[in-house]
Amino acid sequence: MSKPLILVSNDDGITSPGIAKLVSLMKKLGEVIVVAPDSPQSGMGHAITVGDTLRLTENNIFKDIAAYECSGTPADCVKLAKHHLLKDQKPDLVVSGINHGSNTSISVLYSGTMSAAIEAAIEGTPAIGFSLCDYSHDADMSHVDEHILKIASETLKKGIPKGIALNVNIPPKQNQNIRGIKICRQANARWEEEFDQRVDPNGRKYFWMVGNFVNHDKGEDNDEWAIAQNYISLVPCQFDLTGHHAISILNDDWDL
Amino acid sequence: MSKPLILVSNDDGITSPGIAKLVSLMKKLGEVIVVAPDSPQSGMGHAITVGDTLRLTENNIFKDIAAYECSGTPADCVKLAKHHLLKDQKPDLVVSGINHGSNTSISVLYSGTMSAAIEAAIEGTPAIGFSLCDYSHDADMSHVDEHILKIASETLKKGIPKGIALNVNIPPKQNQNIRGIKICRQANARWEEEFDQRVDPNGRKYFWMVGNFVNHDKGEDNDEWAIAQNYISLVPCQFDLTGHHAISILNDDWDL
């Protein structure tokens, strides 16, 4: 049997330690190709490049692994990989990450990591975004291997339900071992922004956005809860945004 | 009773004809403030600016209306408006658009227009993204007024179900009048990309992404169907991406 073909991308850029870790793990499971942004794309959400050109350059950063850096967003990377580089060769799995930082709860909307996974899922490819809940560039990733291999292997074996990409968040390295993997819903939490106003050397105002994460969700079935309990959270994410429950409300209550 | 406060944004930029039309309509319903990107942000999805600074500059383009142009994304605009400019003054309605081009079906994921609306909805503000299914800069918008006013008025009167933002798409101007407004689900369609490879004057390759929209959805309850029938489509969009149906599948079938 031929080895499965695994496409790896991310949003922190092709030189980040997280993607190097993910490539090293995926090599154990199949044939790997990497297409990742040439610069950090954090917070890019599901952006794509329209009205501008894209560059794609071969890169030997992973030595024996075919790797390309792309001037665009994570979603662009997946599109270029599937429709330009691979063409008729369909990947068996698309993985994105390991993101340096959490993508739990509402952060999934802003996440470039997850946009790569969702882009693949839209085209029917099993896809997973992996994030480590530790923002530091040199985060300790020594505890992630067995869990990422297990989730990726299970995906290769069983597939993923139609219309779904997996959002996997991993607790930061702690003294205690990870307690397991919980299949969760997205926590009902959000970012409350503050703007730190400063003045540049030319006397013009500018702002830094400073986010404060606010979690009012008391449930024990959501991703924030799982991470706080030292579990890995796995949220099945859909890209059909229709709020079906609201259709009948609007049909009944609204006068259009 | 004081007039409702309406925040207007978009993704085509503050100088686009679409936002001028939307501002002129919202003036009839309330007190208007505009915060919109200083340059086109199409395809930005739910991107936010992290790791970089933001500019916000007053702009008198709408004369008697307070207006600001922002260096960031549509989601940044809403965040800056709510947490910096308005602070304790909560808008009663956030509208985004009128986008020059369709945001039906899967395009909602890539849409900067809808990201402004969804950003507002996350914070509990009734919000609507309006798009005209005509990509031209000088599109005929003479048929949109009564429909946009009706939907915005109804939203101000009745509110929007919790966890929802409205994605409204309007057919292009045709000889026949618009047949009405249909509350829809997101069509199950997607973009299939091709890459037009070229060579720059320095001999280096670059690409233009060329999208082909593919719709296999035969339903008569989705937004693509509505637009094709000359109805306005209104899709309630949620930002909880959890695919709840997949949680039990994964719990039953997967061995984690």
Contacts of A49 in chain B (CB under 8 A): 43, 209
Q: Classify A18 as helix, strand or coil.
A: helix
Nearest to B95 by CA among B146, B155, B142: B155
**A243 → closest Cβ in B44, B238, B256:** B238
Exposure string of B24-50, with b = 16+ CB inside 10 Å and e = fewer, is: ebbbebbbbbbbbbbebbbbbbbbbbe
- The Cβ of residue A218 has, within 10 Å, a number of other Cβ atoms equal to 9
Name the strand (E) or helix (H) holding B169: strand B164-170
Which A residues 151-180 touch B at CB under 8 Å?
Answer: 151, 154, 158, 160-161, 163-164, 167, 180
Question: What percentage of chain A carries pLDDT values higher than 70?
Answer: 100
Name which of A108, A206, A249 is nearest B241 (Cβ-Cβ).
A108
How far off is chain A from B26, nearest CA to CA, in Å? 18
Task: Please tell me the pTM assigned to this model.
Answer: 0.95
User: Is residue A26 predicted with pLDDT exceeding 80?
Assistant: yes
Q: What average pLDDT does the structure give for chain B?
A: 95
* A:52-81 residues touching chain B, CB 8 A cutoff: 53-56, 75-76, 79-80
> Rounded CA gap, B89 and B218, in Å?
45
Chain B contact present for A252, CB below 8 A: no
Give the mean pLDDT of A213-221.
94
Q: How far apart are CA B51 and CA A112, in angstroms?
A: 14
What does the DSSP assignment read for B35-54? Answer: EEESS--TT-TT----SS-B
pLDDT per position as a tens digit, A140-184: 999 999 999 999 999 999 999 999 999 999 999 999 999 999 999
Q: B240, B249, B255: which to substitute to probe chain A, counting the most A Cβ within 10 Å?
A: B240
The answer to whether A45 contacts B46, with C-beta atoms less than 8 Å apart, is yes
Alpha helices in chain B (DSSP H): 17-26, 74-80, 107-110, 112-122, 145-158, 223-228, 244-253
Q: Which of A118, A164, A180 sits opposite B246 (nearest CB)?
A: A164
Tokens of B9: 């944004």
- In angstroms, what CA-CA distances link B213 with A28, A119, B194? 37, 15, 11
Q: What is the mean pLDDT of residues A21-50?
A: 92
Tens-place pLDDT, residues B74-104:
999 999 999 999 988 999 999 999 999 999 9
pLDDT for the residue numbered B83: 92
Nearest to B47 among A44, A161, A163 (CB): A44
SS3 assignment, position A232: strand
Residue with tokens 């978009």: B10
Please report residues of B whose CB lies closer than 8 A to that of A196: none
Model confidence at A49, pLDDT cuts 50, 70, 90, reads confident
pLDDT tens digits, one per residue of A75-88: 999 999 999 999 88
pLDDT at A45: 80
Q: Please answer yes or no on whether A83 and B192 come within 8 Å at the CB atom.
A: yes
Substitution target in B209, B238, B255 with the highest count of A β-carbons within 10 Å is B209
Query: Would you tell me the crossing angle of helices B17-26 and B145-158 to the nearest 10 degrees?
Result: 50
Rounded to the nearest angstrom, the minimum Cα separation between A142 and chain B is 19
β-pairing verdict for A164-170 and A232-238:
antiparallel
For B128-139, what is each residue's pLDDT tens digit? 999 999 999 999
Residue B2: the pLDDT is 84
Tell me the C-alpha distance between B78 and B35, whole Å. 7
Report d(CA B101, CA A255) in Å as an integer: 26
pLDDT value of residue B45: 80
Contacts of B84 in chain A (CB under 8 A): 195, 197, 207
Judged against a pLDDT cut of 70, whether residue A1 lies above it is answered with: no
Q: How many helices (H) and strands (E) does chain A have?
A: 7, 11
> Which residues of chain A neighbour B256 with C-beta distances below 8 Å?
150-151, 154, 180-181, 183, 234
Tokens representing B63 are 């004369």
Q: What chain B residue is nearest to A119 in terms of C-alpha separation?
A: B109
Within an 8 Å CB–CB cutoff, is residue B251 touching chain A? yes
**B110 to A238: CB separation less than 8 angstroms, yes or no:** no
Residue the block writes with tokens 């899967």: B106
The C-alpha of B246 sits at a distance from chain A's nearest C-alpha, in angstroms, of 6
Tokens linked to B200: 């720059």
Decide: residue A21, CB within 10 A, 0-12 exposed, 13-18 middle, 19+ buried: buried
Dihedral in degrees, nearest 10, Cα atoms B54, A208, A96, B243: -90
Mutate to test the interface with B, among A103, A212, A250, A252 (most CBs of B within 10 A): A250
Q: Which stretches of chain B score pLDDT less than 70?
A: 1
Q: How far is A106 from B193, CA to CA, in rounded Å? A: 28
Nearest-by-Cβ selection for A154 from B46, B235, B255: B255
User: Does A106 sit within 8 Å of B247, measured CB to CB?
Assistant: no
Nearest CA in chain A to B232: A256
User: Is the separation of the CB atoms in B93 and B59 below 8 Å?
Assistant: no
Helix A17-26 vs helix A145-158: crossing angle, to nearest 10? 50
* Residues A54, B208: C-beta atoms closer than 8 Å: yes
- The span from the CA of A106 to the CA of A223, in Å, is 10
- Taking CB atoms and an 8 Å cutoff, what residues of chain A touch B207? 53-56, 80, 84
Q: How far is B6 from chain A (nearest CA, A)?
A: 20
The amino acid sitting at B6 is I
Distance from CA of A32 to the nearest CA of B (A): 22
Q: CB–CB of B250/A161 below 8 Å?
A: yes
Using a CB-CB distance cutoff of 8 angstroms, which residues of chain B are in contact with residue A255? 154
Token pair listed for A81: 């990989």
Out of B197, B236, B245, closest to residue A247 by CB: B236
